[in-house]
Amino acid sequence: MAGVTEFNDSKESLISKIRKRDGRIVSFEESKISNAIYKALVATGKPDYPLAERLASRVMQKTLSQAFDATKTVVPSVEDVQDMVESILIEDGLSETAKAYILYRHERRKVRDEKMKILNKKDLDEVDKALDINSLRVLAARYLLRDDNNEITEGPKQMFERVATLVAVADLLHDQAIFNVAGGHTQRIEEAEHYYTKLDDFGGKLHVGGYYLNKYHFEALIRHYIHCAQHGQMKVGFKELLRLIAEGKMNHYEQRVGEYYNLMVSRDFLPNTPTLMNAGARLGQLSACFVLDMPDDMAGIMKASTDAAMIFKSGGGVGINYSDLRPEGDIVASTSGVASGPTSFMRIIDTITDVVKQGGKRRGANMGILEAWHPDVEKFVTAKTKPGVFENFNVSVGIWDDFWQALVNKEGNHKYTLQSPRTRDPVRQIDAQQLIDLIALSAWKSAEPGLIFFDNINEYNPLVNARHGPLRATNPCGEQSLYPYESCNLGSINLANFVKRKVDGKFEFDWQRYEQAIRLSTRFLDNIIDMNKYPVEEIRVATKETRRIGLGIMGIADLLFLLQTPYNSRDGYEFMNKLAEAVSYLSMDESVALAKSRGAFPLFKDTDYVKGRIPVAGYYELPKETHTYDWDTLIEKIKKNGVRNSWTSTIAPTGTLSMIADTANGVEPVFALVYEKRVTVGRFFYTDKVFENVLKENGLYTDDILTKIANNYGSVRGLPEIPEWMQRIFVTAIDIHWTDHVMAQGIWQKWISNAIAKTINMPGDVTAEDVKCAYLLSHELGLKGVTVYRDGSRHEQVLHITGKNTGEQAFSVKPSRYVADYVQNNIGERYVLEQMQKIFRESGIEEEVVITPEAPKPLAATEVKKPAPQPAQVMMDTEVDRCPTCNARLIITEGCNVCIECGFSGCGSG
């Protein structure tokens, strides 16, 4: 061994480089050899990483010994090293592992060829190699820029550079050498405006370090310079700014571009879809969420329709509250005619959505809202129970505290008054419980409408007493409340990336990296507000008044898999609580730091922030001793320095983004661990990547096992081949009772300042009463909105999971003990407790929830044997339930139709 050591000592430096297939010479990493060998060992049932490391060391030694006499500089090719791996494995008697490695090489070659075909490239760069094929397909289909012949003109690396460069331009313009938050400077605005005529001349001429500004970056530079100069905040003229950039005086911002680039390339964070599509590109529109006003006059209605078309064209989705429109049959004084009602005007927007594609790439999405007091509410509730109606809309009923009080009235008086939108005079009375029953029945039938709880949305709204008043509308998926003409920029942190291995091989969460990502992502999203090219002037004004951002997460299911923590467990809920608190606290803290150097959002002094009010329910509703962070100190900092963004956290739908990041959607549990895809040449399985690795490490990865899981609704529950500990950890949406879906959303909602896109999944055998109880529990847990999806509730069943159920009682799920205890100890509304008691009893919970906390008494459990859910049916080939991009079938997740083939999402956020 001494001789080997001497050999390594004298030659190791000679193998510090390796020649890639495209001819590039890059740093040599022995760990890549170890990892490749380990994968081959795992595939043959020998998951031994120390052995992989020893074999990799021998590969290096043999490579050096064969090359030593031939040259003094050893730069082996990738193929040389891979050939040597095969040789070493065979020498060691690991013929099966060698065979697996050869197959691995072959598969890798096929993958490389497929990637080059997707991207229309002759070779791949490091980013292309890091992204899997599904990610590249999504990027190629929707995100990468194309020329007039529809040929791809950039790769993922160039896309991320394009976005990162634009985002960093905002940092450059706020450099203290040229920007003064206090104002008082006068510059010649027309000097900067003149450069709008020179965009083509300056495209690619200026650079920040190694990153060049294209003409759209340059356009954004002009636009935001003018904005700051109009507020007296630019210390230098525009020509002087250009001189500073040209002379390299701003090259230190190359590091910031690199930080944003690495944040996205690592897929630690991804911004919403319009930002990836349009940053540094012609459209320049970077927001996903918009809300428009719909006043009760024809001019206002037509303006809203025109503005909606411009938003769809630029890549956004629209939410509109139609409650101010007079009801059907009401008198129209100007014509002596009668009004056609809100739903008729929804048809206008629906038609516009049909004919205007978002950025030429996808159809828009809409949220139509009618408040419960409107005389047309019952017609609105049942509108989508018929096929083919409002296909481009999600619809929701907005409720306020007066409706809630009528609903839960302890005296049994559930009368609720409908009012004229025009005069606010009473029109007639209805029974609040009958209306909630109608809403629940419609949602049971068609998955719509949802409910939006405007009382919860506005309870901690710090702008409610400013000139904006209460919030009354949301974006298409309901997670983002907005004022009229306000927009929001969203982005999601990939939680599954923030783990590190401990000595024992298990994973732990990396809280330090999580904090760094939250802070950098907050700056990223704030910069997007300044770099955005808004489709309508009113949107630019309203957005910059509040500077609302929405930082959220994705990948919670995969993170919990890695940490071996069941989603619907006490540990799971407590961990989610910490994650949620961190994202809001740290983003707000970073927003305060931004306010110190760039200024608070313009409406700050008119809001209740100056009184110490913040839009975070958890601060008020959870005991301070349970808080992880010092919120009182943060509030004092806000009162002193202001805050840059009026709201900072939102959990958006991440259907497409999670495909790019190769992780689970948002806060959802996975909808299936394995599902089968049939194509003309055969069939193959999609498998959750974390679950796949665990199967392989435990010698369970076979086609037979995958088939059984796919035929078991994509779940491992009840399969004798799968160990109990794996069944407990790897839970899917169908394994989790709907009360736990609501609980998970409620845990996150306590800390998220905006709202959350999540679907409350229910099996096909639930009743409309279950749906109603989901609404009741959601309101009491503080949710701001709720969407329920009962399997089979669409007119033509959406493809959920293929195959037949192999165990009839496999999915007789019941609420977790955590939910039952939480309801007993925290829900004070007697009517809700009574309704939930029925649910717990029918679900077979061992002890019922006690209605009277003063006299707790366990009641006898009643076992109710529900029929097993029926196998999911494949929907008919209708256009509405097929992907408009690739014609594949859609699934429902996070309240949106999502294509698992190309990444199309019915919502604009992700």
Residue among 54, 508, 525, 484 at smallest CA distance from 270: 525
Longest dimension (CA), the chain: 103
Residue 746 one-letter amino acid: G
Residue among 178, 175, 170 at smallest CA distance from 235: 178
Query: Is position 808 annotated as part of the catalytic site?
Result: no
Q: Is there a contact between 479 and 757 (Cβ–Cβ < 8 Å)? A: yes
Among 479, 581, 668, 780, the one annotated catalytic: 479
Query: Is position 761 annotated as part of the catalytic site?
Result: no
Query: Is position 883 annotated as part of the catalytic site?
Result: no
Asked if the peptide bond before residue 449 counts as cis, ω within 30 degrees of 0, the response is yes
DSSP reduced 3-state for 269:
strand
Tokens coding 175: 């450099």
Close Cβ partners of 834 (under 8 Å, ≥ 6 residues apart):
851
With vertex at residue 863, the alpha carbon angle to CA 860 and CA 865, rounded to the nearest 5 degrees, is: 165
> Using CA atoms, how far apart are residues 118 and 127, in angstroms rounded to an integer?
14
Among 475, 489, 577, 754, the one annotated catalytic: 475
Among 228, 289, 477, 899, the one annotated catalytic: 477
DSSP string, 425-486: -EEEEEEHHHHHHHHHHHHHHHS--EEEEHHHHHHT-TTTTSTT-S---B-TTSS-B--TT-
- 842-880 CB burial, b ≥16 within 10 A, e <16: bbbbebbbbbeeeeeeeeeeeeeebebbeebeebeeeee
Residue 125 one-letter amino acid: D
Integer angstrom CA distances of residue 360 from 119, 217, 357: 20, 21, 5
The tokens 């990836």 sit on which residue?
Answer: 276
Where does 732-829 have alpha helices with state H? 738-749, 768-780, 817-826
Measured from the Cβ of residue 697, the count of other Cβ atoms closer than 10 Å reads 14
> Using CA atoms, how far apart are residues 766 and 375, in angstroms rounded to an integer?
30
The tokens 């955590």 sit on which residue?
Answer: 818
- 800-834 CB burial, b ≥16 within 10 A, e <16: bbbbebeeeebbbbbbbebbbebbbeebebeebbe
> Using CA atoms, how far apart are residues 720 and 726, in angstroms rounded to an integer?
11
Count of helices and strands (H, E) across the chain: 34, 26
The tokens 């060698």 sit on which residue?
Answer: 98
Give the H/E segment covering residue 398: strand 393-399
Q: Is there a contact between 340 and 387 (Cβ–Cβ < 8 Å)? A: no
DSSP reduced 3-state for 253:
helix
With vertex at residue 665, the alpha carbon angle to CA 794 and CA 446, rounded to the nearest 5 degrees, is: 10
Q: Which residues are catalytic?
A: 475, 477, 479
